[in-house]
Structure 1
Amino acid sequence: MPEVASFSYAFSTLQQLAEDVLKHARDKGASACEVDVSEGFGQSVGVRCDEVETIEFNRDKGIGITIYSGQRKGYASTSDFSAQALRETVEAALNIARFTAEDDCAGLAEAALMAKDCPNLDLYHPWALTVEDAITTARRCEQAAFDASPLVSNSEGASVSTQQAHFVSANSLGFMGGYPTSRHYISCSVIAGEQEAMQRDDWYTTRRCADELDDPATVGRIAAERAVARLGGRKVKTGEFPVLFEAPLASGLLGSLVHAASGGALYRKSSFLLDHLGKRVMPEFVQISERPHIKRGLGSSAFDSDGVATYDREVVTDGILQGYFLSTYTARKLGMQTTANAGGSHNLIIKPGDLDLAGLLAQMGRGLLVTELLGHGVNYVTGDYSRGAAGYWVENGKIAYPVEEITIAGNLKAMLAGIVAVGNDVQVRGSKQSGSILLDRMTVAGE
């Protein structure tokens, strides 16, 4: 078995660097300090039409230091781990703090909220993958796409990546935590058709542990099938229709909920969910949970970037918004308590329903299945939503033909309230997990 590449710095060294920063900040008169020390490395291999196109290695490290001088805050960072560089970075942050305006919400989280006994979340599974093995895997993935259909005429490539990192977060209240993580993926993107009638599509798999990745040949085959299925795409007549967001895109609706319910948008009054805590925002059957401690979870974390211990909670219960997504700072701006979401959500999961994608299509009857979104036409202040899209027109509960060059539009508030069903076809690819989501109606603009 090939050797697994290792970190340049021991975990204990990262801890010592953090302690050195905190001591120097204290000696320089800082009233509080927090520090993040991290190191990461990995390799990525890309193959296109059976030829090796890219071999990339990455290795990086950094220290970020936040200094508080009373209610004034300064931040500086460095990639130099030498003692002199650490001292200079602390002093730079302190100097910045002296010239910033006072902010009565600035400062560390309360000591009682800090993570103490961090659970082992099993997030580190290094992949002993040589470059040669990565090339073989990528070639196998791409070849499976070509083998899947004679209509697959070209390739944008298959890639295999493995990444490892470890970090330490600490602050002057005595908190210190950190752990190693890994993340690996296999992807493939291919082109089907000839000359003018060409379509591309892709597929990928990502996990903490390489043993849990989908088979490379499966990834290639799915990419090919998706590209071929899009051939002969056409527009549809403009009108209002039910819309089904395929699972990989449905998690984006969860992302919109998180953005609108996040402290930053709320205290700036730039959210369509302002003052919606405790109010119905989705149908009664919708349940959304945050589960930060799932073993090997892609969004798992024992604490947030403020050092606050994460915990299981219900975000939406029976369609009612139970909680926002707050950091220490944004919680203070709103006169509330942090929800341990500094840095984002942690394994946000919408409860799956009973139907798979075929079942949802049958339930929809006639409408649009969306498999690709283009552009970023979302206004979180008003909730207005308008994006380019591609997918399939559905008649009598079955896919009738591919659709392209259309726009879907609506309002996120109405879209969330108009969820008809959530599928059980969950694709786990990040910190938000959802099956396909069926909406009662959106405006589809085509011909």
Structure 2
Amino acid sequence: MIDSVEGKKRSNEMQTSAVETTAPGAEVADIAALALELTKANGAEDAKVEISRTESRSVTVRNGVPAERKFQLVSEVTITVFRDGRRASTATSDLSRSGLDAAIVAALSIAAVTARDEAAGPADEKHLASDIHDLDLCHPADVALDDMVESARRAEAAAYAVDKAIAATNGASVHVAHGVSLLATSRGFMGSTPWSMNAISATAVAAGERERQIGFWSDAARVYESLPSPDEIGKTAASRALGALNSRSVPTQTCPVLFEPMAAMGLLREFVAAASGDALYRTGSFLKDRVGTSLFPEDISVIEDPFVKRGMSSRCFDGDGISVSRRAVIDRGVLRGYFLGLYAARRLKMEPTGSGYGPHNLEVRSERSSTADDLRSMLSKLGRGLFVTDLVGGGVNRLNGDLSRAARGFWVEGGEIQFAVSGVTLASNLFDMFRGLRAIGGDRLARGGITTGSWLIDEMKVGGL
């Protein structure tokens, strides 16, 4: 058994006491103000200071025995300085005055040897967020370490109990964390976000005659009590492993493909990556200059809402202090905007969208979907084709949208699952896939700031035997 609690606790207590000795009673806002003052004293024209303080605990159980227990208390500041059209960043966990000063001197030294960049610099005042309100993101878990171990044990035991074919697990884990993140700039912006994040996961291994299949399941929430039961997590992980046993390939063909919600989220992330600043200005994207064009069928919209209470991707400002807003990124099939942080927006000569930390709580909607469109209904709409539960490896050529991904799932005939499928590759183009999105299921699932039902795409190439 690996028990790293005491060692980490001693290390973190030493770090905390150092901070408290050099800056007694100082809160993150005071440290940020001091850092900004020191950047100016050292000759920076502008600066950005990001501070995070995190307390976390996690446990992992394997075969009913705690395999790992961790306690971490971490404070870190990242300082970005701007001078003569150049910028550089350094990070330190020493939040004393001398520690901050040393980090700033190092950043300015790095900046002095970097190339000028006209797109670098802090956000203009007109873009800065002014309405910072409580999104109810912080609910520190009041749960003992022993109770966390017991929950992990329950999840693992529930996986074993599903079927004797569950021969092993890769463990079950429980994680709780809370902290505060603060951003301050020399242009007068300062905003802080208290937050919490709790998660539970399990990985089960099913054994067949000549194969072993892995099933994984997890969930996360701002409030610990909102997590699903450990038994549900363990059973789902086991069921996914068992369902993949006795899998086979299918002949190469073109057919409709149904993606379960978790797999569909992977497709949405490919859209987000192609519509994000880095791809648009740096490597090129098939979505460049496509704002205002139709990408999806008319019934499909993708809504971004940063202000969801307790949302996993909720925030009032981005990594440059820029205000965020609720918007339809896809409105009745039409692309209405990109995901642009400040730097990318300047490179593209566009307005920033407050996406310096990425997208916020994306929800895929269809005007034709209803709660009656459960998995059975979606399989019926699929008729004959592939039902995908996992996408593995491969990727997308973002220049032209070509997609090639290995997949596993089930073959469906007459709307009924016939057998498990693995060893196949899906190939298509994202343009064609988005336009061919025939239906969105009512089997909605929320994970990591994305909410969607299953996706039924009318035609893809399935490469098999």
Q: TM-score, normalised by structure 2?
A: 0.92
Question: Aligned partners of 1:332 and 1:179: how far apart in 2?
Answer: 26
SS of the residue corresponding to residue 223 of structure 1 reads helix
2:6 — aligned with what? none
State the alpha-carbon separation in 2 of the partners of residues 168 and 179 from structure 1. 6
Residue 431 of structure 1 corresponds to 449
Deviations 1:351-398 (A, max 9, x none): 152212221111010111111111132211121111111100011111
**Structure 2: distance between partners of 1:11 and 1:258:** 42
Which residue does the alignment assign to 2:436?
Answer: 418
In structure 1, what is the Cα distance between the partners aligned to 2:179 and 2:353? 25
Matching residue within 96, 104, 115 for 2:118:
104
| Letter aligned with residue 188 of structure 1 | A
**C-alpha deviations, 1:218-255, integer Å up to 9, x for none?**
11111222222222111111111111111012111111
Counterpart in the other structure of 2:364? 350
Shift of 1:207: 0.7
Counterpart amino acid of 1:74?
A: A
1:48 aligns with 2:62: yes
* 2:196 pairs with 1:182: yes
Residue of structure 2 equivalent to 1:307: 321
User: Displacement, 1:12?
Assistant: 5.7
How far apart are residue 150 of structure 1 and its match?
A: 2.8
Q: Distance in 1 between matches of 2:201 and 2:274?
A: 31
Q: Which residue of 2 aligns with 1:327?
A: 341
- Give the % identical residues: 38
Check if 1:95 corresponds to 2:95.
no
1:393 to 411, 423, 427: 411
Is the 1:153–1:194 Cα contact (8 Å) retained in structure 2? no
Contact in 1 for aligned 2:208/2:246 (Cα 8 Å): no
Contact (CA 8 Å) 2:208, 2:245: kept in 1 or not? no
AA in 1 matched with 2:197 = R
Deviation at 1:422, TM superposition (A): 1.1
Are 1:362 and 2:380 an aligned pair?
yes
1:284 aligns with 2:298: yes
The within-5 A match list for 1:216-255 is 216-255=230-269
CA distance in 2, matches of 1:409, 1:445: 8
C-alpha offsets along residues 76-106 of structure 1, whole Å, 9 cap, x if unaligned? 1111112111011112212222222222211
Paired residues of 1:255 and 1:432 also in contact (CA < 8 A) = no
Query: Contact conserved, 1:74 with 1:94, CA < 8 A, in 2?
Result: yes
Q: 4+ residue runs of structure 1 moved beyond 4 angstroms?
A: 5-12
The letter for the 2-side match of 1:351 is R
CA distance in structure 2 between the aligned counterparts of 1:347 and 1:224, rounded to whole angstroms: 29
Q: 1:339 to 1:119 in 2, by over 3 A?
A: same
The alpha-carbon deviation at position 269 of structure 1 amounts to 5.5
Query: How much does 1:193 deviate?
Result: 2.9
**Secondary structure of 1:94's aligned partner:** helix
The whole-number CA distance in structure 2 between the counterparts of 1:263 and 1:200 is 35
For the Cα contact (< 8 Å) 1:122–1:296, is it kept in 2?
A: yes
CA–CA distance in 2 between the matches of 1:92 and 1:207? Answer: 38
Corresponding residue of 2:392:
374
Q: Distance in 2 between matches of 1:270 and 1:12?
A: 45
- Please report the RMSD computed on the Cα atoms of aligned residues, expressed in angstroms: 1.8
SS of residue matched to 2:116:
coil
CA–CA separation in structure 2 for the residues paired with 1:155 and 1:104: 53
Q: Secondary structure at the match of 1:184?
A: strand
